Amino acid sequence: MESTTPASAPSATPQAPQGPAPVATPKKSYAWVWLLGSCLGIVILGFIALGALGWWGARKIKKEIQKKSPDIEQLKENVEKINREGAEWEKKAKELRESLPSQEDFPSELPSL
């Protein structure tokens, strides 16, 4: 079967004029922007992690100090008790030294045997 449309008849679909084909411009690569952005993101995450670690450590140390606090109070009481006992012993030693006869009270010559 042959086509019934004559060759000289205009076609029903209009065609665009044939001109130079548009050339696609290559997109600029922003790899360095992504690289710097990634590095900055890593640094920010590092600071956040260090802050969280410091906060956790400070809370942990505070809890340990509070746990040891009664022991510190007991230690202070023991030190005060030892100081009082030391003062009493010092007083007794002074009384004993005063009650002993001095060296001048003894005769200078010993009796011969």
**Total length of the chain:** 113
Cα dist from 17 to 14, 20, 21, whole Å: 9, 10, 11
Question: What is the value of pTM for the model shown?
Answer: 0.39
User: Which of 90, 70, 92, 93 has the alpha carbon at shortest distance from 82?
Assistant: 90
**Domain range annotation of the chain:** 35-98
Tell me the C-alpha distance between 76 and 1, whole Å: 118
Tell me the C-alpha distance between 113 and 106, whole Å: 18
Tell me the C-alpha distance between 101 and 78, whole Å: 36
Question: Which residues of the chain have a pLDDT value below 70?
Answer: 1-26, 110-111, 113
pLDDT value for 66: 84
pLDDT value for 63: 92
